[in-house]
Amino acid sequence: MITRRQALRSTLFGASYVGLRALATGLPAALLLDPRKALADMPAGCPAASKAQFIIFATSGNGDPINASAPGTYEDTKIVHSSDPAMAATRLMIQGQPHTAARPWSRLPQDVLDRTTFWHLMTGTPVHPKEPDVLKLMGTTDAGEMLPSILARYLAPCLGTIQAQPISLGASSPSEGLTFAGQAQPIIPPLALKMTLTNPAGPLTKLQPLRDQTLNELYGIYKNSANAAQRDYIDSLVTSQAQVRNIRQDLLDQLAAITDNSITSQIQAAVALIQMKVTPVIAVHIPFGGDNHRDVALAAETAQTISGVAAIGALMAQLKSAGLQDQVSLMSLNVFGRTLNATNVDGRSHNPNHQVSFTIGKPFRGGVIGGVAPMNDDYGALPIDSKTGAGSPSGDIAAESTLASFGQTMLSAVGVAPDKIARAITKGQVVPAALA
């Protein structure tokens, strides 16, 4: 019988532990699976490799009130914000431009803020279980593929990951689960990852002998089949024994520190999975206020906005410590935002017309894309001027197309070619003003 732990190892490391062998040697999984084909394909490489990014994708089916604390919602004095002093309207600078946001956002380091873009979008639904539809950009993706899965499919060959399928670490409800090519993907909580990889007989403890064994098996092909350029390529990738010891210990220490399935633990697990090059896209759940209909004095919104932004800061610090700050981007997309009108004193209702996403990473020019304006008895996202990124009633991207345009811009940011973007997402357009 296959145990749950064995099944999880197979998910993480693939058939014959090819992913573990890739981690131990530094060689791409494709080279280990089919060396001759990989060497023959080597000169072609990946045209978009310089732009490729690992993605940590924050998503929630709760409809968190991120839109109530973000830049772009403080110009209209009728919009209701938390009155807690910890959430006071605070001036901050992004790429040399002044903006106003809730105080927690101003606590992010300046180099992080300069890579942070806030997107004012319309998802078009007020229904929690529609989260999968929002991730499919409300019917605008080819074959109903989810945005994180589209990103993963295009990024996997460039990043040389073990698998193309994304992994979810933090899904808190079935609606937050991911699919890939129509197939539901497993949810791997951080504690399960820890238990699988850090036990004394776990796979991470065997990296060094696995490295030597794998390189010995490849020696004949290396000596007899590879030309000089191909041998140089392999030599440049091979991990030394000393590096393997450091990788093993770093990952074991990082995973051993996990004590629960909180966002702190999800971040630790996500960074470890990226270092192991398991998948291009990892989904997490960052609480930002939740489904706060009866949130007295907006207390939960206040507490979770503070902790949510702090979690972002902690993630960026861990990426920087690991030397990954230029290789990993954070993106968020939730099912809907929250109402912003004057009825919101003790809680907020669902807002299908306004949701704020954030993107943080090297590919992004920090700032605010789009805006908000009165709509019916509340507020909704404005159309976007594709050239400037500003929200404007005369913008050439209609409010209904802002979600699809967000998806197109995410693909462009990580190097997907325009013709492939057009096939993957059938509506909207890229917003160049959001890109570095």
What pLDDT does residue 42 have? 62
| Mean pLDDT score, 52-59 | 97
Q: Which residue has the higher pLDDT, 25 or 429?
A: 429
Domain spans in the chain, listed from the N-terminal domain onward: 1-42+192-260, 54-189+261-434
pLDDT over 80 (residue 345)? no
417 with 135: CB under 8 angstroms?
A: no
The conformational region for residue 153 under phi > 0 = left, psi -120 to 50 = alpha, else beta, is alpha
Query: What is the percentage of the chain residues whose pLDDT exceeds 90?
Result: 68
pLDDT grade for 426, boundaries at 50, 70 and 90: very high
Asked whether residue 58 carries a pLDDT value surpassing 80, the answer given is yes
How many CB atoms are closer than 10 A to CB 53? 25
This prediction has a pTM of 0.91
Tokens representing 359? Answer: 């993107």
Q: CA nearest 255: which of 206, 202, 197?
A: 197
Question: Quick one: pLDDT band at residue 2, thresholds 50, 70, 90?
Answer: very low
Report the candidate in 187, 113, 176, 166 with the shortest Cα–Cα distance to residue 367.
113
Residue 96 confidence (pLDDT) above 70? yes
pLDDT computed for residue 15 by the predictor: 61
pLDDT, average across residues 9-35:
78
> Token pair of 357, please?
């996403």
Instruction: Give per-residue pLDDT as tens, 385-401.
Output: 999 999 999 999 999 99
| pLDDT at residue 298, as a whole number | 95
Q: 317: helix, coil or strand?
A: helix
* C-alpha to C-alpha distance for 259 and 380, rounded to whole angstroms: 40
Identify each DSSP E strand in 187-336 by its residue range.
281-284, 328-332
Task: Give how far the C-alpha of residue 374 lies from the chain's centroid of Cα atoms, to the nearest Å.
Answer: 31
pLDDT higher at 182 or 12: 182
Q: Which two tokens stand for residue 320?
A: 């920087």
Q: Are 417 and 158 in contact (CB under 8 A)?
A: no
Whether 135 has a pLDDT exceeding 90, the answer reads yes
pLDDT tens digits, 300-317: 999 999 999 999 999 999
pLDDT for residue 33: 82
Q: What are phi and psi of 49, to 5 degrees?
A: -60, -35
For 230, phi then psi, to 5°, come to -70, -35
* Fold classification of 54-189+261-434 (topology level): Alkaline Phosphatase, subunit A (3.40.720)
Residue 1 has pLDDT above 60, yes or no: no
Q: Lowest-confidence range among 124-138, 332-346, 372-386, 395-409?
A: 332-346
Are 366 and 114 in contact by the 8 Å Cβ rule? The answer is yes
Tens-place pLDDT, residues 223-246: 888 888 888 888 888 888 888 888
Average pLDDT score, the chain: 91
Using alpha carbons, select from 79, 84, 124, 118 the residue that is nearest to residue 103: 84
Confidence of residue 5 (pLDDT cuts 50, 70, 90): low
Query: What is the CB-side half-sphere exposure of residue 365 using CA atoms within 13 A?
Result: 12
pLDDT at 163: 85
